[in-house]
A and B are shown apart, each in its own frame.
Chain A
Amino acid sequence: MYRYDEFDQAIVDARVAEFRDQVARRLNNEISEEAFKPLRLMNGIYLQLHAYMLRVAIPYGTLDSRQLHMLAHIARRYDRGYGHFTTRQNIQYNWMKLEEMPDLLADLASVEMHAFQTSGNCIRNISSDQFAAAAADEIADPRPYAELLRQWSTLHPEFSFLPRKFKIAVTGSTIDRAAIQLHDIGLELVHGAEGEIGLKVLVGGGMGRTPLLAHVIREFLPVADYLSYMEAILRVYNRHGRRDNIYKARIKILVNDLGPAEFARQVEEEWAALKPLGLDPPPSELARIAAHFQPPVLDADAPVEIDLSNPEFANWVAVNTHPHKVPGHAIVTISLKAPGEIPGDASADQMDLIADLAKAHAQDEIRVTHAQNLVLPHVRRDALFTIWQALKGAGLATANLDRASDIISCPGLDYCTLANARSIPIAQKLAVRLAPQEADLGELKIKISGCINGCGHHHAGHIGILGVDRKGEENYQLLLGGSGAEDASLAKILGPGFDENGIVTAVEKVIGRYQSLRSGPGERFLDTYRRVGAEPFKEAVYG
């Protein structure tokens, strides 16, 4: 994985010094909160319901054990012993003290990590496929392209005060694990006519108040010029994106208002002006970065057959591992969704354990998924049992990947100052209720947000739940039929909302109706919904 050189380190260290200075000025009252707030936000620091919250960037969701140990240390030293992995592949800490933040950022910098641009109206952390470099279905590792984007977007002088936040995702596979159709820019590595690698460019996807799927504005972008092309997209957006209404300020609204064809034309025109300016680094820079992402040397003769006589272990292997591109290996997903627990939360001890396992058995790599789980991407199959035993001892061996209890949930009103309703308790109740039957249900993605901002991706849920405020009471809307994968679609509201217990019952009714309607055990809820439409479910819930 990428390692900083002295330039990268100097920039991150300077940022720590800058923030130390800014915090000192705020604590001395040299600057007002009004002036300070945008500064702390650009370092990922929010004031939430109980304390400051810090969002640490995990670029393209990749960590090594040293970094995960540091995240554990931060949880212990500066927080209350845990952290929350988010749908943006980042980690958030909930109990931060402003006065300790400069030391914390210095600790992060010591392991080549930072909180650059994890908030604010700028280009946010670049997300990617959690199975990068391990999945059999990928064209190439997307992370070198993501890393170059990270560097290019860091402290960008023109694009740090955009109309609204800006999220970019990159994938190297046609199986979309990075939800590229739901990002401001989605990039997919593709082969050109001569077999060379290029990028397919999608623009204008997103969730929130106006969920929209992205449009392809370029089928093939040569990698040599992709940064100047990004620059062109961002410039068109910065100049023409709406700034009069925060709910209409994302690029998706501009793309929609102009129409994708006209938007693409303006980008091409801007690109023609920008490309000759020498903004693109030479190919040697991408090659330098790519050299850090050499695939690990794995033993292709590692045994494929392993002892699966322990049924609990065999079930975990079947549910939570994926085939690796190298025979005898597997991709392990560690569920942070034990039913009844808080989705995405991990204790410092759990982080340390996972870091140790990664070091011992997984080429020292850990990935964070947008579904708030962790991944060990390169594991010998004959080490799976050892790993499983260690995970089990720490409450981390839940075999529920992509199943009913693997629920995505934003922090909601238990932590978030923007929330209308709590999301975590709904996730906990649903997971406990649905876990016993989830094996029969197969793939079922439930996603919960505590407000219209949609951090819990409710619009991309097979079943989505949105917390709203109804006359001061928590109320929940039920949405069906979304997907954030390559078959992306936006979930639609089924009908009037429910209270906390009502929404749990309503989901159970939807699932009951699905079980009676599905054509066979292979038909997922989403497929059944797409086949039969919303009516039967409406009838089941409201009839």
Chain B
Amino acid sequence: MPRLLTGNRVETGDVIWWTGDGWSLHLKDAIAVDDSGEALIAQFSPQERINDLALIDADPSDAGWRPRTTRERVRAVGPSVRPDFALPSIPVESI
């Protein structure tokens, strides 16, 4: 199952996704890190720039990545009760 690397930027708290050569605010830019995930966390943790680094499970879908848990879908899109803030990832209705 594809795994994505995510965390929160320390300065802003923004949810960010690993794109292979940097971080993006958008889930759609994420790449599957799969087996290299642990090594990336071990690389980034000591730098102390990203909080709550974590690997999450996601499935590919027509609309892009679909995280498996409600929690991660909410993190990726924004609060389901504020569609006006929804980030362009999966549709807010599909949380």
Contact = CB atoms under 8 A, between A and B. Distances in A.
A and B touch in the complex (CB under 8 A): yes
Interface string B60-95: 000000001111001100111110010000000000
Nearest to A427: B81
Contact of B81 (A49, A51, A424, A474): A424
A97 B81 contact: no
Contact of B74 (A94, A98, A414, A473): A414
A421 B80 CA distance: 12
A428 B75 CA distance: 21
B43 interface: no
B81 A80 contact: no
Contact of B13 (A97, A413, A419, A473): A97
A496 interface: no
Contacts of B48: 29, 32-33
A50 B6 CA distance: 12
Contacts of A473: 70
A8 interface: no
A235 interface: no
B81 A50 contact: no
B7 to A, nearest CB: 10
B10 A98 contact: yes
Contact of B79 (A29, A415, A472): A415
B24 to A, nearest CB: 15
Contacts, number: 69
B34 interface: no
A98 B68 CA distance: 29
Given A33-B48, A413-B70, A419-B71, A50 B79 contact: yes
B34 to A, nearest CB: 20
Contacts of A422: 70, 74, 80-81
Interface string A24-63: 0011010011000000000000011111100000000000
A51 B13 contact: yes
A413 B10 contact: no
A224 to B, nearest CB: 46
Contacts of B51: 33, 47
B71 A50 contact: no
B12 A99 contact: yes
Contacts of B14: 51
- Among A29, A97, A413, the one with the most B-chain Cβ atoms within 10 Å of its Cβ is A413
A425 interface: yes
SS class of chain B's interface: helix, strand, loop or mixed? Answer: loop
B27 interface: no
Contacts of B82: 342, 414
B11 interface: yes
Interface string B3-19: 00000101111110000
- Among A50, A413, A428, the one with the most B-chain Cβ atoms within 10 Å of its Cβ is A50
Contacts of B81: 342, 414, 422, 424-425, 428
A161 to B, nearest CB: 23
Contacts of B70: 413, 421-422, 472-474
Contacts of B80: 414, 422, 425
A268 B58 CA distance: 57
A26 B10 contact: yes
B52 interface: yes
A525 to B, nearest CB: 27
A49 B10 contact: no
Contacts of A33: 10, 48, 51
Interface in B14-66: 14-15, 48-49, 51-52
24 contacts: A33-B51, A49-B71, A50-B13, A50-B75, A50-B78, A51-B13, A52-B12, A96-B13, A97-B11, A97-B12, A98-B10, A99-B11, A99-B12, A342-B81, A342-B82, A413-B74, A414-B79, A414-B80, A414-B82, A422-B80, A428-B81, A472-B68, A472-B69, A474-B70
Interface of B: 8, 10-15, 48-49, 51-52, 68-71, 74-75, 78-82, 85
- Nearest 9 pairs of A and B residues by beta carbon: A51-B13, A414-B79, A52-B13, A97-B12, A424-B81, A99-B11, A49-B75, A414-B81, A29-B48
